[in-house]
Amino acid sequence: MTNSIFCKIAFAGLLAISVATLLIRCGQTSANTKGAKEQNADERIPVRTAPVELRTLALPVQASGILTSSAEQRLAFKIGGVIRKIYVKEGEVVKAGQLLAVLDKTEIDAQVVQAQQALAKAERDVARVEGLYRDSSATLELLQNAITARDVAREAERIARFNQQYAEIRATRPGKIIKKLMNEGEIVGAGTPVLVLFETGTDDWVVKVSLSDRDWARLSIGANARVVLDAYPDAPFAGKVSTLAPAADPASGLYTAEIKVVPSPGKRFAPGLFARVSLSPASAKTLSVVPIEAIVEGEGLSAYVFALQPDSERVRKVPVQVAFIEDRHAVVAAGLEGVAEVVTVGAPYLNEEKKVRKMND
């Protein structure tokens, strides 16, 4: 009897210990689960986001070219020959009418003498035939032929003297020689530029650029331009389209445009400076605009952004085409259709597998 009572007491004690142990373990499991949930919540990457703005903008035309001037002249001989003497150097200031270069005139002088002698002979022939005609020894046709031959010889002599005059180059206006294209002793063809003269005292500067047919069609005379010279990268200049070629260059298939630029005070211009031009066409379209911080993995105009999903906890990596950058914002031409919000702060650390936590507030 005593043993039976003792067994019952022992069994009750063991049962109480087991229940207590089970309760302790359940409490630990619950605590661990709660801690895991809190830990998982803390593993979400904190980010800041920005809404995608829609703006009506004129997509600019980007081009590059060389600064030049309408006051620039490329001087050449009218006839071909051997350059005997060039009297000026690059950078030299010249006066209007000043002799700049001459050809070897041996050949052209001989042509002038030959033409003069031919004219003298033709005039003698006319005088002789006129005498014969008065004596009725020559027909009217012979006289007319002699007169025609004399007139032709006279024009040939005039052409020879004219070419002799243009066997030299003279400055057409006051200015500076900015480039010497050929040297003494070289054979030059008729019309081949030898010297480049830049008229001083003018501010008629233009940038010549080449455009595709699509860009050419979007522009018009008077369109605004933003010009950045490599010589002054932090000082953009305002400009306007002054000329649009009516036809494409047969060799390149591109259209030439001239952008007139006015120099700012304290900034010196010189022919040949390299320029980058952003042209504003009249036509506009609706484009997406996001902060520049939203752009990741950019290469050229192709890049990616992380779009916030509707649950505000996940993101989607979206490829986009950037049109241009303006005032710390990226203007996106394609890729953000249907996207309302993009990640800005924290974007470089994201992928589509990770959850995020908005920190905008």
**Stronger pLDDT, 125 or 32, i.e. the higher one:** 125
Q: Once rounded to an integer, what is the mean pLDDT over residues 36-52?
A: 71
- Residues 55 and 313: their CA atoms lie apart, in Å, by 28
C-beta atoms surrounding 128 within 10 Å? 12
Name the band, by pLDDT with cuts 50, 70 and 90, for residue 14.
very low
Name the band, by pLDDT with cuts 50, 70 and 90, for residue 94.
very high
The model's pTM? 0.52
Q: Buried (b) or exposed (e) across 211-248, using 16+ Cβ within 10 A?
A: beeebbebbeeebbbebbbeebeeeebebbbbebeeeb
Instruction: Using CA atoms of 71, 77, 83, 85 in order, give the dihedral in degrees to the nearest 10.
Output: -50
Do residues 204 and 70 make contact, with C-beta atoms less than 8 angstroms apart? yes
- Residues 188 and 77: their CA atoms lie apart, in Å, by 8
Residue 112: its H or E element: helix 106-134
Residues above pLDDT 70, as percent of the chain:
87
Name the band, by pLDDT with cuts 50, 70 and 90, for residue 11.
very low
**Domains plus CATH for the chain?**
46-56+285-358 (2.40.420.20), 62-70+206-279 (2.40.30.170), 106-166 (1.10.287.470)
Angle at which helix 106-134 crosses helix 140-165, to 10 degrees, equals 160
Tens of pLDDT, residues 313-354: 888 899 998 888 877 888 898 889 989 899 988 888 888 888
Which residue type occupies 185?
A: G
In degrees, rounded to 5, the angle at the alpha carbon of residue 83 between the alpha carbons of residues 79 and 86 is 115
**Stronger pLDDT, 311 or 10, i.e. the higher one:** 311
Q: Is 45 left (phi over 0), alpha (psi -120 to 50) or beta?
A: beta
Tens of pLDDT, residues 292-310: 898 888 787 889 999 998 8
Instruction: Using CA atoms of 203, 181, 272, 209 in order, give the dihedral in degrees to the nearest 10.
Output: 100
pLDDT of 133 > 70? The answer is yes
Number of alpha carbons in the 13 Å side-chain half-sphere of residue 97 = 0
Tens of pLDDT, residues 178-189: 889 999 999 999
Helix (H, G, I), strand (E, B) or coil at 39: helix
Q: Once rounded to an integer, what is the mean pLDDT over residues 10-36?
A: 45
* pLDDT at position 108: 82
Residue 47: its H or E element: strand 45-47
* pLDDT at position 91: 87
Q: Once rounded to an integer, what is the mean pLDDT over residues 237-263?
A: 91
